[in-house]
Structure 1
Amino acid sequence: MVISFNSIKGGVGKSTLATTMAGWLASQGKDVLLVDGDDQETSSDFTAWREQTLGNTGYTLVNMTGANLRKQVEAMKPKYDHIIIDTGGRDTTSQRAALSVADVSMIPFVPRSFDLWTITKVTDLIDEIQSIRAEPLIAYTFLSRADIRSADNRDVAEALSQISQLTYLPYPISNRKAISNAAGLGLTPFEGESIDTKATKEIEDLFNRVLNGNHVTATA
């Protein structure tokens, strides 16, 4: 499966989730390719730290940007169980190429009003991509970096669930320190000496829903 993490706004946790999914899948024995399609190269920096911390990343990393990303990912599909693409937080040629080749798009939203204001731009982009694809793109949206308890979570979740172009997944990823602390060492929240079980459950619930269609009890 080719899964692209997309956003047209930075700071939504996209790269953290992309690298976490790559590491999580690799830990299950999957052959994983992580594609860094972001000019900021956050996934590449994470992987460098990961290799320094663990000695082995567990997955293969490549940097691909521009229109050629589509052709290169297509060529690599038969070689890997899963390909994870991390794209930049804006509408770029790389992001469009990723959306055109992916099976699934993961679009995180931070539950803030100014993040939700970008929804029209996101849906316009998805509509445009869908019009040129032979097979429909599965486009998921979910809350990322959500407050543990906040009315904003409910309000933004309700707004996202009304968007016909996107399938809202009620598995929010909370803004937990354990996630950022692990990422700073090149680790996923599933690794290291101190593991936050609440954080790992949230992430695993979301990933399992996307990969397997497993409906688990959603986090309130």
Structure 2
Amino acid sequence: MIYVIGGIKGGSGKSTISTNLAVLMARKFKDILLIDADDQQTASDFTVFRSETMKDNLDYTSIQLSDRTVRDQTIKLRSKYDHIIIDTGGRDTTSQRAAISIADIYLVPFVPRSFDIWTIEKVSTLIEEMKIINPKLKSFSFINKADFSGQDNSEAANLLKENKTLEFIDIFIGNRKSFPNASSKGLAITEIKPKDVKAIQEFNALFNFLININLDLN
């Protein structure tokens, strides 16, 4: 399976989602490839931090690709790995389109703020264009960096549910300090101590959803 974590607005936590998925998938499957296709190279920085923390025991393989090589090299490498996770930038780039063109699942996190939610129509247009090339593509949205109170979460969720291009996953991952704290050490949310039980539960809900989708598609 090829999972692409994307969108067209920065700051939605794509790299955090990508790196945590890579670590958790590496614990469940044998060979996982994390591709950093984002110009900011946050996933690559995470891998460097992880290499230092874990004394080179990464659990997964990590490479950097950009532009059309994202598609070409991923196709060549696909048979060597159980799953591939591609972290793309927060813009409509050649790299992101190249990744979507071969993806099984396109996962788009949205922050519950008006400027983020307003991009859903542009994301939908991107998906519809890419489905001409990749008709098997399955696209999902969910709320990331959710608030702990107020109506923004539910209002954003309602808008996402109305969209017919992306299937809304009824999962809310909170805007918790434990995520950046873990990432700064190259650790997944399940590895940092003291454990943030709520954050682990929320991320595991997303992880289990994706694993079940994987089983259904196969």
TM-score bin, normalised by smaller chain: over 0.9
* Cα distance in 2 for residues equivalent to 1:29 and 1:117: 36
* Cα distance in 2 for residues equivalent to 1:122 and 1:144: 16
Is this contact kept in 1: 2:50–2:187, CA < 8 A?
A: yes
2:165 paired with 1:157:
no
**Residue in 2 that maps onto 1:184:** 184
* Cα distance in 2 for residues equivalent to 1:98 and 1:213: 19
Is this contact kept in 2: 1:32–1:59, CA < 8 A?
A: yes
**Residue in 2 that maps onto 1:64:** 65
**Residue in 2 that maps onto 1:98:** 99
Query: How do residues 122-141 of structure 1 correspond to structure 2 at under 5 angstroms?
Result: 122-133=123-134, 135-141=135-141
**Residue in 1 that maps onto 2:119:** 118
* Cα distance in 1 for residues equivalent to 2:73 and 2:127: 21
* Cα distance in 1 for residues equivalent to 2:204 and 2:192: 16
What do you get for the CA RMSD once the two structures are aligned?
1.1
Q: 1:66-98, CA deviations, whole angstroms, 9 ceiling, x for partnerless residues?
A: 012111111111111110000011000000001
- The one-letter amino acid paired with 1:100 is S
Q: 1:102-147, CA deviations, whole angstroms, 9 ceiling, x for partnerless residues?
A: 10011000000011111111111001001122x3210000000011
**Residue in 2 that maps onto 1:83:** 84
TM-score by length of 2: 0.95
Q: Percent identity?
A: 46
TM-score by length of 1: 0.94
* Cα distance in 1 for residues equivalent to 2:30 and 2:204: 15
Aligned pair count?
213
* Cα distance in 2 for residues equivalent to 1:202 and 1:30: 24
Gaps of 5+ in 1: 215-220
* Cα distance in 1 for residues equivalent to 2:174 and 2:30: 26
Deviation at 1:192, TM superposition (A): 2.7
* Cα distance in 1 for residues equivalent to 2:29 and 2:156: 36
